[in-house]
Amino acid sequence: MEYRKLGKSDLEISVVTFGAWAAGGWMWGGTDRKEAVEAIQAAYDLGVTSIDTAPVYGQGNSEEIVGEAIRNLPRDKVQILTKYGMRWDIAKGNLGFKSKDDQGNNIDIYKYAAKDSIIKECEDSLRRLNTDYIDLYQIHWPDVTTPIEETMETVGQLIKQGKVRCAGVCNYNAEQLKEAQKYIELVSNQVPYSMVKRDIEKEVVPYCIENNISILAYSPLERGVLTGKMKPGHKFAEGDHRAELQYFTDENIKRVNAFLDNIRPLAIEKNSALSQLVIRWTVDQPGITIALVGARNAEQSAQNAKSVNLQLSREEINFITEELCKLKIKKG
């Protein structure tokens, strides 16, 4: 496994980090708790020491699963990345979206990152994770109802108290990053990035490189469509959010698979799975520090972890990128 430092901090995390959104089941059609725990532990055995989760993933379920998975692991050998600022239990802040919980009940998700809320969320996360500190604490989405100053100064207090090691953000644009940096030292920005979703390359990547802010790329496999395992006509389980996303229309699955077929010979040459080639390409892109990759079972997580064993030359990276430029995702 490879490890990279976040920003100017001494926090080092695995280049492939376990993304625990799907493990929580919410918006993924449910989860098997035992398999989720085994997936995290299998990844750890292969050097994936970093786990990214959030309270809203399963309304606490994901964090509890992470806490169970690392219970018997040395705490100083594991890096816990979690978030705040998405509340489902209070009607405050900015209504982000409507959803359903694992029992099918309607719930409203609010973006709320005021001081009192952050303090409560931190305590709740520490309890669910069964730990006394969080390695990286990240605002989940920008909250337009709370000044960034209040949010970041609150996290700064948690750092002084020893409950948090480092501060990060998620889904921030360059302007928001600049504002947040006035009040706290940011080490990372977690943003969506994949072969088929590269819009952050215009402004966010250059800003982060210039200001030594690490980029944590989430959904590098674009929720599974870049694994090559999806076929037109795929039926998702009830409650799986992917059924509504543009990447999973039959037309776009066909287009993505045609691209993957073009780079498949390289994967075969490297004795690797297509998903491993995609992950390796992702973490080799300018400004990308690590890739957050989810898994539903031990087999998937082991395959993801082994992506770092794959090495790509500059010529091979360029070949993949050139083939990628031919891929056109149909919008709408």
111 φ/ψ sector (left φ>0, alpha ψ -120 to 50, else beta): beta
Q: Which residues of 274-304 are buried (b: 16+ CB within 10 A; e: fewer)?
A: bbbbbbbbbbbbebbbbbbbbbbebebbbbb
Nearest to 277 by CA among 301, 43, 269: 269
Rounded Cα gap, residues 202 and 281, in angstroms: 18
Nearest to 194 by CA among 331, 301, 324: 324
Rounded Cα gap, residues 275 and 225, in angstroms: 10
What is 128-170 written as a DSSP string?
Answer: HHT-S-EEEEEESS--TTS-HHHHHHHHHHHHHTTSEEEEEEE
Residue type, 96: G
Cβ(152)–Cβ(168) under 8 Å?
no
- Which helix (H) or strand (E) element contains residue 107? strand 106-111
Does the annotation mark 57 as catalytic? yes
Tokens 């209040």 -> residue: 150
Write down the catalytic residue from 57, 172, 193, 247.
57
Q: At what angle do helices 61-69 and 115-129 cross, to 10 degrees?
A: 40
- Which helix (H) or strand (E) element contains residue 294? strand 288-294
For the CA atoms of the chain, what is the radius of gyration? 19
Q: How many residues does the chain have?
A: 332
Residues identified as active-site: 57
